[in-house]
Structure 1
């Protein structure tokens, strides 16, 4: 036990995430030392080195055994404390909470399980424990596979927190109650061991029986009264409350979160995506499976985390025919991506409907790559252009490594998904979908394509490297993908949790509290320039313009990336405008517009550059909300009707008032970036309100369009054709 504890400590300090006093290290030690304590105690009881429940004072004997095993926690914990000499100190308070909550209770359970096994069979106390351990393992794996939650509360490690992409972690209340339940079960097992042995001796131990029953009832009562510990399909459906159906889908949504119109738009969006993927894959999973796809639609990250254990991870399990997603409105490509996973089920040669190699290993690169290829999100950079840009700015990972499971997880999700998506899309464009289906069902690249994976990647790289990219696209790629993976970040768990809390405060417009929360983030990562920009933004919201200007002056002395230079110019322009120096503000906005920006940001900067109206400043810089925002826009209408109509139309469209939106969006705009967006949103609002006359009128005079907007127009035309075909059919 001593050697095991020492080796575990040495191992922990070598692995990122595990080398801190936090969740990962406590979960590992909890599982490892918990099982070690069970094995050690079983040996001691079998060899009668420890008296166990057969001793004169079993309670004292048990406590000594538990505490002697708990002492070994100090060894790996000490290694982690020493490791603070070479790694930053993160949230030690929460880390200590995990360490106090997990290893001690797992060791308590391990000793209890040995006690229980010894009472049943003293010669082989392992037998009962092995049976229970296997049963619990099967139960946990079954729930992870078939029930909505991707997290699990477990006897040994305490808590499997789910996807690594959800970086923010704090101690959930459900974890505390699950450990209380485990302690109650442990006490019940120890009491039963004593009762059983007394019964064999012809004795009746009333208190042992009472404690056995009480502990068991407490264990069951805690689990029953805390559904967050063990949500299942039915409990999640009940919590969401709403239900709608269409030809291919059964949707469960949060009651009150969507209007009737929004529900209709979502169902049409899902059916349109189904038709697209049916054509792409030449498959019909609803017909193949014989039942509709179930979509669990969560209204916000916190509800999603409460019900299925993830804030930012969307999930589709092909073998369950279910999806768990959030939806940001029509055209949200995450719907396509997750639905694509279900379309791969018919040609997956495995009972889990996944690409499994050698019967065991998940081909994660193929799994996510084919879904990303089918998704093909509309952006300033498509997947091929993203891969090309990453190679030219030396940010591209080795695709050979990414296509392996470990290599995929080691990369930031944005890079991994887009690189594999581009490669899989290229394979489909060159060879069709059928060979990739064979690969998905367990095929070999050499046999299926007649080339090795290395040769195929080389050919793809030649194709990618020939693509033409603008300087703006390269700048945009640097801004989007110059991010480390979770394993390379400073205090990723603690930083993400603080950021989550700060963003919640910002949502409540409590800028002072958000600034205080940000100060904690900056203490953990004092060299993080992006956090300093965040502080500038909060200071501007608090109208501390002089302090914000001083911050920007200091930041400008550092070496900045293109994205950070853009933030610097934007904030300086806003401050100059607020302070009345419009000329200096326009100079900053002009410089900003010369950089590589996303289309949405370019539109916002263009408005600020070409409109000096105070109402625009209130709307875009001060970011007035609710009724105040509408008052500001109505006031702007008297000075600049054209711009006011654009801003009103956009706001009405995203609030779901399509009939009113199309009227305001009929007003032409002089700013090219606004004219593009106005054109597309006018088409969408006309279609969604059923006004085909207005849709055709808008189509008669399209403005000059950029690549991304051309792709949006192409999709809009397909949606219109599909909608009319469906209407004619019905």
Structure 2
């Protein structure tokens, strides 16, 4: 009865796992996360069960042992799979076919491989009690090898022989079944079949043992073919980089093609990057490292290595994460995709790498138990505080103030713990950054470094009370409150419904919009809303698509429904209104479009979105030739060279500098700063038709002067802009620090807030 008991024990464990997963929304249905969980937990039990069964039934034929072991393994796999299928009756399953595919490719194949492994170990080991433990150690060892691959290479994803697919960062919600995963699992299927055939060829049921010499000679052909096939499986590991199954530092460097070395950074970038752009990227990385080291007092001479991929698709294909930007502090490496200059997130990721010196444990981060258990709240909070990330024109203190006023500010005990990862991302990051910033301001930078090293915040309740009192004094305008509503309405990935399917549909929606396929856009919007009825962004896009299709009544009904929805953030309502206004302009209803753009300017929006509406309203109030040019510039989706020509023509028609301003923006986007400067200066002389445009012009002048080495004029532009808002002040301060570094190769940064952070002890 021992083997039956072992199977029952494994089946009971599988049932417990299935029930436990059913209570976690992200894991409660078939999908990549639940498949990974089963792939990690079930194979050791299956291998042990197979080894135990083999040890007690040595008289059976080899093929019978293999079939029965694999059958038991698949039954053990089936138990939680059925439980999760039942769980889908209460937790929505949006992509059942894909979810089941993950289950089959991952834990099902992993359990089959574990069963074969258990049979081999059970047959080879004479000690019956030792066999199951050794067999269970094989999948566990394979999981540790996967962890080592994550630790020792730039890869964020991991393909495991038993565990299956670890897709990477949890915030990277666009997860599909990659073709390289299919080829990897195909090699594992070949391994399962080959191990079964080879075991049957070498197993002697009369002696109950493997007879390599006698049985091998008798079945030489089968053995030779099996060994050759296993050789192909091993070869697939050696050729893992070419097959996309693994990635090394050398392979990434070769694929990107260009490396530049600076004072503090080694930057790998696309080989087609122009020399002047490469110099700016390298200098910006050097500046960010110098700034972080100056603020923290850390002095490691080891360089930070930055990988800049061409786009998020290339990054996803090579290291496993696309939209999410990530760092590996223990490797002092950061992984980003090319973006505008200066890179908007480089400073944040560099802080992670610099704080490696203050971290501990194998991952060199803030954590308990010697750094083995990470504290993501401290890790991310420190990076946000030191980089002082600005999001949607709001700094972390302003985000936290708004959350406090809305009774949505997470408790410090949740933010400064592993529960950080279960919170909605924007709330978690901004609250953690604001709290760590307050810790620096009131206790000093040394206190932050000690907190980071220990992995916990001492006297957290007292710190939280003081933080809340400080937040009461943080200034926030009604417009800024409205802007924040959008991000604060987003749920945590752990509590959202079908996050991966929604991410795919949103990606499809972006493609539909780019293709101007309104029929497909409507279809995709409705598919999104079928999953998430209150998905405000899809509703906003749907309004414009319906209006452009001539379905005005439906568009207005959708817009009115969005306005009536109490939890629809005002900027989302504004986005829908703008979609409708754009459609009216396209259809020739100029008076209605003009009135709608006027209404838009009364709603809270980010500065960039508000400027767009201003220019559109200006266009409708301009002469017909100007209006046609502005329509093509703003709504015609023309390529940049065409927009440059259109803006140049507009400049000849207008008395102000709007045409020059729009032309210069395009040239700056192409990093042609020398050509843009004269246009910006001409726009400044002629004047622009709104205060928002004037403020943005000063910002563009500050960037352009810096890019061309005119540091004095750049500094003057940034000082003039600093008073516009707290976000503008923080941005100006960063540029002034950048100017100081460009001139002296040193920087004396300061963090904004209730008081200056004391210098770290030398």
Which TM-score applies when normalising by structure 1? 0.91
Q: 1:498 and 2:505 equivalent?
A: yes
Aligned to 2:410: 397
Q: Report the Cα offset of residue 590 of structure 1.
A: 2.6
Q: Report the Cα offset of residue 214 of structure 1.
A: 2.2
Identify which of 420, 425, 441 aligns with 1:413: 425
Q: Report the Cα offset of residue 670 of structure 1.
A: 2.8
Aligned to 1:82: 86
Conserved in 2, the CA contact under 8 Å of 1:35 and 1:156?
no
Aligned to 1:363: 375
Identify which of 519, 524, 529 aligns with 2:536: 529
Q: 1:607 and 2:623 equivalent?
A: no
**1:514-663 alignment runs, 5 A limit:** 514-539=521-546, 548-549=555-556, 551-559=558-566, 560-612=568-620, 613-640=627-654, 642-663=657-678
Q: 1:169 and 2:175 equivalent?
A: yes
**1:154-193 alignment runs, 5 A limit:** 154-193=160-199
Distance (whole Å) between structure 2 residues aligned to residue 504 and residue 699 of structure 1: 37
Q: How has the CA–CA distance of structure 1 residues 203 and 551 changed in structure 2, closer, same or farther, with 3 Å as cutoff? A: closer
Identify which of 689, 694, 699 aligns with 1:670: 689
**1:66-77 alignment runs, 5 A limit:** 66-77=70-81
**Cα deviations by residue, 1:50-105 (Å, 9 ceiling, x for unpaired):** x4xx634x224422432343234443333333333322230112112212222321
Identify which of 44, 62, 66 aligns with 1:62: 66
Identify which of 234, 239, 254 aligns with 1:220: 234
SS in 1 for 2:267: strand
Aligned to 2:123: 119
Distance (whole Å) between structure 2 residues aligned to residue 414 and residue 652 of structure 1: 32
Q: How has the CA–CA distance of structure 1 residues 546 and 625 changed in structure 2, closer, same or farther, with 3 Å as cutoff? A: farther
Q: 1:17 and 2:47 equivalent?
A: no
Conserved in 2, the CA contact under 8 Å of 1:177 and 1:226?
no
Q: How has the CA–CA distance of structure 1 residues 126 and 68 changed in structure 2, closer, same or farther, with 3 Å as cutoff? A: closer
Q: How has the CA–CA distance of structure 1 residues 584 and 502 changed in structure 2, closer, same or farther, with 3 Å as cutoff? A: closer
Q: How has the CA–CA distance of structure 1 residues 77 and 541 changed in structure 2, closer, same or farther, with 3 Å as cutoff? A: same
SS in 2 for 1:319: helix
Q: Report the Cα offset of residue 348 of structure 1.
A: 2.8
SS in 1 for 2:211: helix
Q: 1:385 and 2:392 equivalent?
A: no
Aligned to 2:349: 338
Q: Report the Cα offset of residue 187 of structure 1.
A: 3.7
Distance (whole Å) between structure 2 residues aligned to residue 546 and residue 419 of structure 1: 42
Q: 1:294 and 2:308 equivalent?
A: no
Q: Report the Cα offset of residue 718 of structure 1.
A: 2.9
Aligned to 1:107: 111
Which TM-score applies when normalising by structure 2? 0.87
Q: Report the Cα offset of residue 541 of structure 1.
A: 6.5
Q: How has the CA–CA distance of structure 1 residues 675 and 178 changed in structure 2, closer, same or farther, with 3 Å as cutoff? A: same
Q: 1:153 and 2:169 equivalent?
A: no
Conserved in 2, the CA contact under 8 Å of 1:253 and 1:296?
yes
Q: Report the Cα offset of residue 408 of structure 1.
A: 0.3
Conserved in 1, the CA contact under 8 Å of 2:581 and 2:596?
yes
Distance (whole Å) between structure 1 residues aligned to residue 13 and residue 720 of structure 2: 74
Q: How has the CA–CA distance of structure 1 residues 122 and 503 changed in structure 2, closer, same or farther, with 3 Å as cutoff? A: farther
Conserved in 1, the CA contact under 8 Å of 2:51 and 2:120?
no
Q: 1:681 and 2:700 equivalent?
A: yes
Distance (whole Å) between structure 1 residues aligned to residue 50 and residue 490 of structure 2: 47
Q: How has the CA–CA distance of structure 1 residues 358 and 711 changed in structure 2, closer, same or farther, with 3 Å as cutoff? A: closer
Runs (5+) with no aligned partner, structure 1: 447-451
Aligned to 2:744: 725
Q: 1:242 and 2:258 equivalent?
A: yes
Distance (whole Å) between structure 1 residues aligned to residue 264 and residue 379 of structure 2: 23
Runs (5+) with no aligned partner, structure 2: 1-7, 204-209, 621-626, 747-762
**Cα deviations by residue, 1:486-540 (Å, 9 ceiling, x for unpaired):** 1221211111122224334544555555554444333333443331222234456
**Cα deviations by residue, 1:331-381 (Å, 9 ceiling, x for unpaired):** 334111111112212233445322221223222211111111111024532
Identify which of 422, 428, 433 aligns with 2:434: 422
Aligned to 1:449: none
Distance (whole Å) between structure 2 residues aligned to residue 529 and residue 692 of structure 1: 44
Conserved in 1, the CA contact under 8 Å of 2:292 and 2:351?
yes
Distance (whole Å) between structure 2 residues aligned to residue 65 and residue 440 of structure 1: 48
Q: Report the Cα offset of residue 611 of structure 1.
A: 2.9
Distance (whole Å) between structure 2 residues aligned to residue 444 and residue 20 of structure 1: 34
Q: How has the CA–CA distance of structure 1 residues 14 and 638 changed in structure 2, closer, same or farther, with 3 Å as cutoff? A: same
Aligned to 2:271: 255
What count of residue pairs does the alignment treat as equivalent? 712
Q: Report the Cα offset of residue 442 of structure 1.
A: 1.8
SS in 2 for 1:595: coil
Distance (whole Å) between structure 2 residues aligned to residue 535 and residue 420 of structure 1: 35
Conserved in 1, the CA contact under 8 Å of 2:39 and 2:107?
yes
RMSD in angstroms over aligned alpha carbons? 2.8
Q: How has the CA–CA distance of structure 1 residues 461 and 684 changed in structure 2, closer, same or farther, with 3 Å as cutoff? A: same
Aligned to 2:448: 436
Q: Report the Cα offset of residue 330 of structure 1.
A: 2.7
Conserved in 1, the CA contact under 8 Å of 2:70 and 2:112?
yes
SS in 2 for 1:590: helix
Q: How has the CA–CA distance of structure 1 residues 444 and 646 changed in structure 2, closer, same or farther, with 3 Å as cutoff? A: closer
**Cα deviations by residue, 1:371-423 (Å, 9 ceiling, x for unpaired):** 11111024532111111111102221112111111x10111221111111111
Q: How has the CA–CA distance of structure 1 residues 461 and 185 changed in structure 2, closer, same or farther, with 3 Å as cutoff? A: same
Aligned to 2:221: 207
Conserved in 1, the CA contact under 8 Å of 2:44 and 2:140?
no
Q: 1:3 and 2:7 equivalent?
A: no
Distance (whole Å) between structure 1 residues aligned to residue 668 and residue 331 of structure 2: 35
Distance (whole Å) between structure 2 residues aligned to residue 512 and residue 241 of structure 1: 41
Q: Report the Cα offset of residue 140 of structure 1.
A: 1.5
Aligned to 2:724: 705
Q: Report the Cα offset of residue 627 of structure 1.
A: 3.9
**Cα deviations by residue, 1:661-719 (Å, 9 ceiling, x for unpaired):** 11111112131111111112112212212345865886797797344334333333332
Which shows bigger deviation, 149-158 or 690-699? 690-699
Conserved in 2, the CA contact under 8 Å of 1:266 and 1:329?
no
Distance (whole Å) between structure 1 residues aligned to residue 467 and residue 329 of structure 2: 29
Q: Report the Cα offset of residue 106 of structure 1.
A: 1.3
